[in-house]
Amino acid sequence: MGSKRKVLALCGGVGGAKLALGLSHVLGDDELCIVVNTGDDFTHLGLRICPDIDTVTYTLAGCVNTETGWGRAEETGTFMASLKTLGGEDWFYLGDKDLAMHVERTRRLAAGENLGTVTQALSRKLGVSVPLIPMTDDTVETQVEVEGDVESLILPFQDYFVRQRCEPKLKAIHFVGQEHAQPHPQFLANLLDPDLDLIIICPSNPFLSVDPILALPGIRGILQKTAVPVVAISPIIGGAAVKGPTAKIMGELGLKMNSITVADYYQDIASGFILDRRDAVEIEAIREIIPRVGVAQTLMQTIEDKIELARETLDFVGLDV
């Protein structure tokens, strides 16, 4: 090959952002497009907050807090401390640097710009040169159905996820508004580009971060029919999730905590699947679900880890790296 490659990455928060960063080192700005989940976006304190967009933006801009994987590096909490004194809600941490993103995004959205335009503009201001596209300009709101004392309760996702630290027992996840949400035009254009070489499903939570993207009208159907390789990277490492509530959620949804479950989940759309070396024992089972299976070191701690996983993913489908 040697000519220009075209790769589309579907991405959630922390894990996805790390692979996106690796891909951005291996591919040119015109070879990569990153589509980001907006299902857990929400409005808080009057501010529009897009957790996954921000995580991917900060990661690609090199200003993410590498300890948490989200938020800004060298962040300060003066605003939050002051807000707490005033009796304001402090359960969702907003650092002083990070806050500027939410204020400026909210201002631009209120002025009539769409989320895609705002996301591209603000990520570019921070030095991100790869196109970052929200999955949709429309609003999709993740709500979770949890066990209550008597009957089920419906909670906004961040209320469940952050305020209640995922403590209520999960029964179902709903993406409110998904049936009317239009995939972002650049997402569709990239997906249908005849020169597209590869679609990567990044190692993000399948149920919370990837599903909102797949559930947009038309997307799953396109992915089922496309001739372009669709490669999913499992977020499970050694039978556990690297971060976050994936394990608890999978358990409560009655799913086994392994990459076989993830492969099952992607079986109708993925033509290739990469799992962690530590789970290589699952290869045969997964091969019965998805024909092409690879193993890799999927824990991405250093920048070298991220670049290496990006390389191995491209190499897995025969793209020059």
Question: Site residues (CB under 8 A) for its own copies?
Answer: 45-47, 72, 76, 78-83, 85-88, 96-101, 103-104, 106-107, 110, 121-122, 125-126
Shortest Å, Cβ 53 to its own copies: 13
Is 83 or 153 the residue whose CB approaches its own copies more closely?
Answer: 83
Q: How far apart are CA 45 and CA 94, in angstroms?
A: 10
Relative to beta strand 236-237, strand 240-241 is antiparallel
Q: How far apart are CA 138 and CA 115, in angstroms?
A: 8
Residues ≥6 apart with Cβ < 8 Å to 301: none
Are 95 and 77 in contact by the 8 Å Cβ rule? The answer is yes
Is 98 or 211 the residue whose CB approaches its own copies more closely?
Answer: 98
Shortest Å, Cβ 217 to its own copies: 31
Shortest Å, Cβ 128 to its own copies: 12
Shortest Å, Cβ 114 to its own copies: 17
Length of the chain: 321
Matching residue, tokens 């790296």: 321
Is 76 or 302 the residue whose CB approaches its own copies more closely?
Answer: 76
Is 76 or 224 the residue whose CB approaches its own copies more closely?
Answer: 76
Is 107 or 256 the residue whose CB approaches its own copies more closely?
Answer: 107
Is 107 or 165 the residue whose CB approaches its own copies more closely?
Answer: 107
Shortest Å, Cβ 156 to its own copies: 16
3-state secondary structure of 251: helix
Residues ≥6 apart with Cβ < 8 Å to 221: none
From residue 195, how far is each of 1, 4, 208, 298, 320 by CA, in Å?
Answer: 13, 9, 30, 28, 15
Q: How far apart are CA 52 and CA 60, in angstroms?
A: 12
Shortest Å, Cβ 81 to its own copies: 8
